[in-house]
Amino acid sequence: MKVLVLNCGSSSVKFQLVQTDEASAAAGRVHALARGLVENIGGLAILRYEAEGRKPLKETGEILEHKIAVERILGLLTRPDVGVIQDRSEIEAVGHRMVHGGERFKTSVLIDDDVLSGIEDCIDLAPLHNPPNIKGYRASRDLLLVPHVAVFDTSFHQTMPREAYLYGLPYVLYQRHGIRRYGFHGTSHRFVSRRMAEILGRADDPTLRVITCHLGNGCSITAIRGGHSVDTSMGLTPLEGLLMGTRAGDIDAGIILHVMVTEELGVTEANALLNKHSGLLGISGVSNDMRTLLQAEADGNDRARLAVDVFCYRLKKYIASYTGVLGGVDAVVFTGGIGENSPVIRARSMVGLEALGLRVDPARNDAARAVEADISPEGSTSRVFVVPTNEELLIARDTYHIVAGLSAE
Ligand code: AMP
């Protein structure tokens, strides 16, 4: 089955055309035929496209809305010189990344009118993300008359117990407005934790304790028991938890009130402060990009060093606390751009966790870049792994399972 995976942002559409069938979906060997990205929709857009055995392509042109972007993508997929299918009718299903599914969506689902209105009900919880996701769905629904499946960032975390998801606020806020921890990056945490369980040969073990660290521009960490999320660092919004590229992560909520008064900030400015001007960028004043910061640190920039130190310290604190939540840990998994590619960050975040049985082998750690690898010393009982994430693959796999009439995992 050929599945088109779409991830629509406010001015972008990321896509992958994936070939999958029952055996490959089960084995996790789903095959991408073509992939790409349209950016800056609404103006002079850039379309990047690459397909198996074809020359990569970059086009620039005015694309005013998502529907036209999807139309252009379908045009490339079927174009004789660069395409990978003859006709769009070969696409049998579409899988959509949806950010927020609230408490209603605990698994991936086939989208119908009722599901769509449920996703629209979650707009209040993700006002920046759900609307473009919905727009992308509407655009592609009109162009591809096939089953469409929603795969949510939040659904994996719906197994968290109440004590992990409730905030210390008046309970009525949870009842009236759904104020609670939802967690995000669920597709990535689910993908790498499942892969970890397979690597350890414990795929069906309800006692397996895994901590997954998704470290990219956005960062989150999840405690997983027997394949189920029991706690995660992002909260009602993707702002809580670890230090990120431009997001603050955990702060004393009182700071916001204090700074809004002292700096005379409105809600829009406070929002920008927390989401766009904080994190690695805010502390270092240099960059939100970890590679740039590590270089600046090596060149002697003290604020870059400080930002990296805060990043690693916060991560270590969470790993230790989730080890407590799980009553020990069988494996810690690093993924995302930083987690997969940076031995330095992995090593620095694990310093001091030896007492918990967690150790990194320097040579193995150094050698592991963007590949699956065990980076703990031989014979460790608690293991440390690098597992590259693949959210598109999981979206394609869920879509396949639902459309093929099987239940999603
Ligand atoms: P992502 O959002 O998953 O694409 O991750 C982006 C982040 O990964 C950026 O902060 C990059 O600087 C970081 N990154 C990518 N490669 C490396 C690397 N080799 N060393 C350190 N950070 C990296």
Q: What percent of the chain stands above pLDDT 70?
A: 98
Is 325 a residue whose pLDDT tops 90?
yes
Residue nearest to atom 9 of ligand 1 (CA): 289
From 187, 294, 334, 338, give the residue whose CB has the most ligand 1 atoms within 8 Å, as the site to mutate.
338
Q: Which atom of ligand 1 is nearest to the CA of 336?
A: 3
Catalytic residues: 153
Euclidean distance between CA atoms 146 and 4, whole angstroms: 11
From 341, 365, 391, give the residue whose CB has the most ligand 1 atoms within 8 Å, as the site to mutate.
341
Euclidean distance between CA atoms 106 and 117, whole angstroms: 16
290 CA → ligand 1 middle, Å: 6
**CA 50 to chain centroid:** 22
70 CA → ligand 1 middle, Å: 28
337 CA → ligand 1 middle, Å: 4
Euclidean distance between CA atoms 140 and 323, whole angstroms: 43
Confidence (pLDDT) at 27:
66
Which residues does ligand 1 sit against, CB inside 6 Å? 216-217, 245, 289-291, 294, 336-338, 341-342
Question: pLDDT tens for residues 150-163?
Answer: 999 999 999 999 99
- pTM, two decimals, is 0.94
**252: Cβ–Cβ under 8 A, 6 or more apart, which residues?**
none
Residue nearest to atom 4 of ligand 1 (CA): 337
Taken in order 111, 112, 116, 119, the sign of the CA dihedral is negative
Closest CA to 59 of 91, 88, 36: 36
Beta-bridge mates of residue 19: 2, 31
Q: What does residue 309 show for φ and ψ, rounded to 5 degrees?
A: -60, -45
The amino acid that residue 37 corresponds to is: L
Confidence (pLDDT) at 363:
98
DSSP single-letter state for residue 263? T
**CATH superfamily entry for domain 201-386:** ATPase, nucleotide binding domain (3.30.420.40)
Question: pLDDT tens for residues 254-271?
Answer: 999 999 999 999 999 999
Same fold, 2-152 and 201-386: yes
211 CA → ligand 1 middle, Å: 20
Residue nearest to atom 8 of ligand 1 (CA): 337
Question: pLDDT tens for residues 263-295?
Answer: 999 999 999 999 999 999 999 999 999 999 999
For domain 2-152, give the CATH number: 3.30.420.40
Confidence of residue 126 (pLDDT cuts 50, 70, 90): confident
Q: Tokens representing 191?
A: 């993908």
110 CA → ligand 1 middle, Å: 33
Domain boundaries, the chain: 2-152, 201-386
Confidence of residue 408 (pLDDT cuts 50, 70, 90): low
Q: Tokens representing 363?
A: 């040579």
Q: Which atom of ligand 1 is nearest to the CA of 214?
A: 3
Confidence of residue 76 (pLDDT cuts 50, 70, 90): very high
Q: Check residue 285 and give left, alpha or beta (phi > 0: left; psi -120 to 50: alpha).
A: left
Confidence of residue 127 (pLDDT cuts 50, 70, 90): confident
Degrees to nearest 5, angle at CA 175 with 102 and 219: 40
Strand locations in 198-282, DSSP E? 209-215, 219-225, 228-232
